[in-house]
Structure 1
Amino acid sequence: MLVRGVRVLRWMRWYVRELTDESAYERYVAHVRKQHPDAPVPSRRAFEKERTDRQETDPRQGFRCC
């Protein structure tokens, strides 16, 4: 019973992280390390800033109401 509860909690955590795109940085780092092993990996702050700037300049990337 405890194992099933832990499994459900892990699934819920994964689901929420994917829904909110919280795991985007981890996916990006894995991609860079696999496809471009010699390339430097930006910090999470730099990644988020670049991502936000890209979304604000291209309306197809994301929607901001304010």
Structure 2
Amino acid sequence: MANRVVGALRTAWWWTGSLMGDHDYSRYVDHLRRCHPGAAVPSEREYWRARYADADANPGARCC
């Protein structure tokens, strides 16, 4: 029973993280390495800064 509760909590934690964008940087890095092997990989800080700068430059592109 305890294993099921722990498994459910881990699943909920992972799902919440996905919803909030916690896995976006790692997916981006995987994409760069797979599709653009010669491209420089930005740091996580640079990635988030560029992502939010784009959203601020074009506010109509985001949902809220």
TM class, shorter-chain normalised? 0.7 to 0.9
RMSD, aligned α-carbons: 1.7
5+ residue gaps in structure 1? none
- Give the corresponding residue for 1:51: 51
Give the drift of 1:59.
Answer: 1.5
TM-score by length of 2: 0.81
Q: Distance in 2 between matches of 1:13 and 1:60?
A: 30
User: Aligned ranges for residues 6-45 of structure 1 at < 5 Å?
Assistant: 6-45=6-45
Say how many residue pairs are matched.
64
Once the two structures are aligned, what percentage of the paired residues are identical? 34
Give the drift of 1:5.
Answer: 2.6
Give the drift of 1:63.
Answer: 5.4
Q: Where has structure 1 moved over 4 Å in runs of 4 or more?
A: none
**Structure 1 or 2: more helix by fraction:** 2
